[in-house]
Amino acid sequence: MDLSPYLESLQRDLASVAAPGGPDISRAAALLTTSLEAGVRLTLLEVLSDAAAEITTQLNEATVEIRVRGRDADIVVTETLLTPPIPPPTAPADLDASGTSRI
């Protein structure tokens, strides 16, 4: 998952809010968004990880993980295959009740 569009959207929003304040405020907003990029990216990854953990608790046969790849995240869904329990071995039919066999 490419996080860049979300960061760029945040930068545009901050720039549009700062624009009426004049060039000094716009420059301060641009500097602020540049310095906050790493922290916002990390916060987005934390939100994704928390969401994946919460979704996993609600699924019966799958887990959801967030794997960091460079500066972005991959969402991985893994199905948990539930294997049926193995029944206990049964005694062969030719044994008598005392547990000895006839020869």
Query: Is 39 a member of any domain?
Result: yes
Range of the domain at 11: 4-79
| Confidence check: pLDDT of 100 > 60 | yes
Query: Is 36 a member of any domain?
Result: yes
Query: Is 15 a member of any domain?
Result: yes
Radius of gyration in angstroms for the set of CA atoms belonging to the chain, rounded to a whole number: 29
Query: Is 84 a member of any domain?
Result: no
- Average pLDDT taken over every residue of the chain: 87
Query: Is 90 a member of any domain?
Result: no
Residue 21: what pLDDT?
93
Query: Is 86 a member of any domain?
Result: no
Residue 89: what pLDDT?
80
Query: Is 75 a member of any domain?
Result: yes
Contact 51, 42 (CB under 8 A): no
The pLDDT tens digits of the residues spanning 14-73 come to: 999 999 999 999 999 999 999 999 999 999 999 999 999 999 999 988 999 999 988 889
Domain count, the chain: 1
Query: Is 96 a member of any domain?
Result: no
- pTM equals 0.66
Task: Report CA 44 to chain centroid distance, whole Å.
Answer: 11
